Amino acid sequence: MNTVLTPHQDSLPPATGAWREGDPPGHRRWYTREKPLALEAGGELPGVRLAFETWGRPAPDGSNAVLVLHALTGDSHVAGQAGPGHPTPGWWDGLVGPGRALDPDRWFVVAPNVLGGCQGSTGPSSLTPDGRRWGGDFPFLTQRDQVAAEAGLADALGIERWALVVGGSMGGMRALEWAVSYPGRTGALLLLATTAAASAEQIAWADVQLRAIRSDPNWRGGHYHDTGGPGPHTGLGLARRIAHVTYRSEAELDVRFGRAPQGAEDPWNGGRYQVESYLGHHAAKLVSRFDAGSYVVLSEAMNSHDIGRGRGGVRAALRRVTAPTLVAGVGSDRLYPPAQQTELAAGISTADGLRLIESAHGHDGFLIEVEQVAALVGELVAPRHGAALSSDRKPRTG
């Protein structure tokens, strides 16, 4: 049986890979909401805190602020090296930095760790007001709840209107929620490899992953953080294996690995194929830096995503978007196929058609093909773009 641990590990990792009090803060800052956050599904969440990172300085009028929103297992560390407090390098490092599309000399870039996450924001691994871990008692969240918390962060930073909101996958869901819930606060919008509403297939893939986590004996109903024992590493690792297959394309996996064995291992005698080793590597990486409880909470929030809920349907909701918008899909994406982005581009009157990111990598192409993403960002933040998408021009819809 394969394990989620690497060959060089001689003991289980901690019960959670979450950032916890006492860990190095790294480049994080924190926003704390003093009043409870009312939740869409009912009830409220007290003591909300969001970790975030920034690059650059805000203009006196706040007009240069850009909001970058991460995907399921991302965090606030968009750019920069791994180091104390940051287990991995920046996940969009090629997008933010001197001379790059989001140059801190021009832009004030803000990246929060999503509400429900595990890298400094309030989530299942966080302490409740009475000092215990939330664990399995953490409430159900929706994308709208998460965006409401981010709006509080914007208020605290003195940002009345974002020059640009950008996100891919789950981050794209929140970016879309920003543009629909707060159209006057969204100056431009970049939606990457995302959808107006989670599809049945996307919910089905998430269901299998959530069942893998919850079937792990060490899940303990989500209350595993302070037991002194191992966390649900096997379940979380299995969930990551399943997810990673959907994040990549069949063609890429076949070209990279084919049916080759891993080194001298014999798959007919208990050994692994290269592709199995590859999936195990990614499972081990996630276990070491993420929290199973957050994976559950965020996956359920993604399943709940429906921009048209309570708004008269998807088409009516998309008509609320007033920001100049670019919608881009990845041609080889089988998890969030381009047809979903076609629907977005057709429904948003200010969208400049549909763009396709050329990549063999599948859904992960929006993270890997940084140069193509940077070109899209450049289009939106160019001074002429606002005029190019003015109301007297009929936008392309396909």
Q: Which domains are present in the chain?
A: 29-78+93-199+306-388 (3.40.50.1820), 203-302 (1.10.1740.110)
Strands 65-69 and 108-112: parallel
pLDDT for residue 123 is more than 60: yes
229 touches 218 (CB < 8 A): yes
pTM confidence score: 0.93
The pLDDT > 70 percentage for the chain reads 93
C-beta separation of 205 from 335 below 8 A? yes
Which conformational region is residue 194 in: left (phi greater than 0), alpha (psi within -120 to 50 degrees), or beta? beta
Instruction: Tally Cβ neighbours within 10 Å of residue 46.
Output: 12
**Does 11 score more than 90 pLDDT?**
no
Element (H, E) at 55: strand 49-55
Tens-digit pLDDT profile for residues 82-118: 999 999 999 999 999 999 999 999 999 999 999 999 9
Residue among 180, 225, 170, 237 at smallest CA distance from 202: 170
Confidence of residue 2 (pLDDT cuts 50, 70, 90): very low
Q: In what order do the strands lie in the sheet with 164-168?
A: 29-32, 49-55, 108-112, 65-69, 164-168, 189-192, 325-330, 351-357
The string of pLDDT tens digits covering residues 146-189 is 999 999 999 999 999 999 999 999 999 999 999 999 999 999 99
Instruction: Give the mean pLDDT of 7-26.
Output: 78
User: Which sequence positions are flagged as catalytic?
Assistant: 169, 333, 363
Question: What's the mean pLDDT in 302-315?
Answer: 98
Q: Assign 382 a pLDDT band (cuts: 50, 70, 90).
A: confident
pLDDT tens readout for residues 209-258:
999 999 999 999 999 999 988 999 999 999 999 999 999 999 999 999 99
Q: How confident is the model at residue 390 (pLDDT cuts 50, 70, 90)?
A: very low
**Six-digit token pair at 69?**
């929103």
Query: What is the pLDDT confidence band of residue 12, given thresholds at 50, 70 and 90?
Result: low
The Cα–Cα gap between 24 and 82 comes to: 12
How many whole angstroms from its chain centre is CA 38? 22
Stretch 52-71: mean pLDDT, rounded? 96
